[in-house]
Amino acid sequence: MERKNILPSAEELKRQQGFIDLMRAENERFEAEQGRKKKMLIVTFGCQMNAHDSEKLLGMLTEMGYTKADNEEDADFIIYNTCCVRENAENKVYGNLGYLKHIKAEKPDLKIALCGCMMQQPTVLETIRKKYKHVDIVFGTFNLYKLPELMYMNIESGSPVFDIWKEHGEIVEDLPAIRKYKFKASVNIMFGCNNFCSYCIVPYVRGRERSRTPEDILKEVKALAADGVKEVTLLGQNVNSYGRGLEKEVTFAQLLRMVNEVEGIERIRFMTSHPKDLSDELIKAMAECDKVCKHIHLPVQAGNNEILRQMNRHYTKESYLETVAKIRQAMPECAITTDIMVGFPGEGDAEVADTVDVIKKARYSGAFTFIYSKRTGTPAAVMENQVSEEQAKRSFNAVLEAVNPIIYELNHEKVGKTYNVLAEDVSSSDPEFVTGRLDDNTLVHFKSDRDVIGTMVQVKITDNKTFYLIGERI
């Protein structure tokens, strides 16, 4: 099936609401017979985009009357929201699916659904059809909102339902979503990506870039504020190109200023910024908007100009460092974090030395480092000079050796100072501690009752543990 949605957003939503009602009736019948509610498990792989999609899945499933299961064995409905950015993300899904086969053998009523980026690849679909016949429902990134309809179709037909679109339809607004945290939320501002970095699968599985209108975004942010949200994270693969192609073009900087006006919102974050599109206007807006956190995630990927060219990144080491300098000049307290990829075709020790040089000059507060993973269908996959595993590991270590001491030093400067912290959760390592974040996104653990969670508190930093800080409430 490759039908795009032809109904306008509001009508499509109403249609799905009809299926939610049918599923709820079905689940109520089950509860009356069995004396318990049906349980669901959503397992999410990949980035914040996927995590936010899972909040929408949870919203829809909750409206259908499901409650949460603790684990696979306990669930009546399992959905894997998949990622394919690197091979190991895919392998995990296949591994888990193998395991589910055994559970389903003992519990034939168990329903298994797959969605997300991995499902947008025809070879994956083929493998699932052939080898994983115990899967009941498969859909992709463009039709997430159809979950209720697909679940109902699966029950009615008694056979597997595959519904993957090759491209996006109209953006369906106002899906119910259930947030993990009451006080913070993610908001999609755009979908897809047009950049086609030569190693990356995302543009193929998430489609072309499209922005939501500022009106729709502001409506959502205001509703979130009214619901107790203090921190919003604006999500897009490249937020710096937000607004292109909208009927009334608007820049990301302008959007930030609008969100900054929303009453009740105290912190605004955003992800991710592509260095090639980071404008002076954005730096100015960040510096001037009091609610916009002084943190920018600016993936560099590599420091060598030839590698950057081969990656199709459209910036150079020099222009990247110039952007960093501008950010530092406008906002000396701004944290800059990054993504680094090692082992890209053609990258040897000499090239990695350039990456290390950028790390030392940019002074990152945090970095996610990845080993290049060949993605079939991307231009880099057919480049001739693929790098050995040994070389990639050596590069990986060189990067970590450069990154970690700088993170330590930057955090060390914070010891003895007091910061505004949004208390977020009970610490996973010690229930007497609460975990929160500084404005610049640094994690801090401090001793406190859990009733501070969701509020802003003042914390004095007492110790530096490299990847997080220890502090005390004052």
- Size of residue set near ligand SAH by CB under 6 A: 17
Question: First-to-last CA distance in the chain?
Answer: 59
Give the one entry of ligand SF4, ligand SAH, ligand F3S, none that residue 203 binds, where binding means its C-beta sits below a cut-off of 5 to 8 angstroms depending on kind.
Answer: ligand SF4
The amino acid occupying position 382 is V
Task: Output 143 or 195, the one with its CB closest to ligand SAH.
Answer: 195
CB of 105 to ligand SF4, least distance (A): 38
In the list 23, 177, 200, 321, the residue contacting ligand SF4 (rule: CB under 6 A) is 200
**DSSP E strand stretches across 59-110:** 67-68, 77-82
Cα–Cα distance measured from residue 222 to residue 323, given in angstroms and rounded to the nearest whole number: 32
- Cα 398 to Cα 76, 300, 467: the distances in Å are 46, 16, 18
Instruction: Pick left, alpha or beta for residue 441 (phi over 0 → left; psi -120 to 50 → alpha; otherwise beta).
Output: left
* Binding residue (CB under 6 A) for ligand SAH from 274, 294, 295, 437: 274
The 89-118 contact track toward ligand F3S, x by CB under 6 A, reads ----------------------------x-
The candidate with the shortest Cα–Cα distance to 183, out of 457, 472, 449, is: 457
Question: Which of 63, 42, 24, 17 lies closest to 172 in space, CA to CA?
Answer: 17
**Site stretch for ligand SAH (CB under 6 A), options 72-80, 204-212, 366-374, 463-471:** 366-374
Indicate the SS3 state at residue 228.
coil
> Other CB atoms closer than 10 Å to residue 429's CB: what's the count?
8
Query: 185: which strand partners?
Result: 232
DSSP 8-state class, residue 182: S
Query: What mask, x for binding ligand SF4 by CB under 6 A, covers residues 227 to 246?
Result: ----------xx--------
Q: Is 202 in the site for ligand F3S (CB under 6 A)?
A: yes
Interactions with ligand SF4, residue window 250-279 (CB under 6 A) = 274
> How far is Cα 282 from Cα 361, in angstroms, rounded to an integer?
22
Minimum CB separation from ligand SF4 for residue 276, in Å? 9
Run of H or E residues at 226? helix 214-226
- To ligand F3S, the closest distance from the beta carbon of 176 in angstroms equals 21
Contacting residue, 372, 419, 433, 446, with ligand SAH by CB under 6 A: 372
> Which entry of ligand SAH, ligand F3S, ligand SF4, none binds 373, CB below 5 to 8 A by partner kind?
ligand SAH
Q: What x/- string results for residues 41 through 60 when contact with ligand F3S is judged by CB under 6 A?
A: -----xx-xx----------
Q: Taking contact as CB under 6 A, which single stretch among the options 148-156, 200-208, 392-400, 457-465 is the one that binds ligand SF4?
A: 200-208
**Which string of DSSP letters, residue by residue, matches 92-105?**
HHHHHHHHHHHHHH
Cis status, amide bond into 272, omega within 30 of 0: yes
Instruction: Write out the residues near ligand SF4 by the rule CB under 6 A.
Output: 193, 195-197, 200, 202-203, 237-238, 274
Residues making contact with ligand F3S (CB under 6 A): 46-47, 49-50, 83-85, 117, 202, 205-206
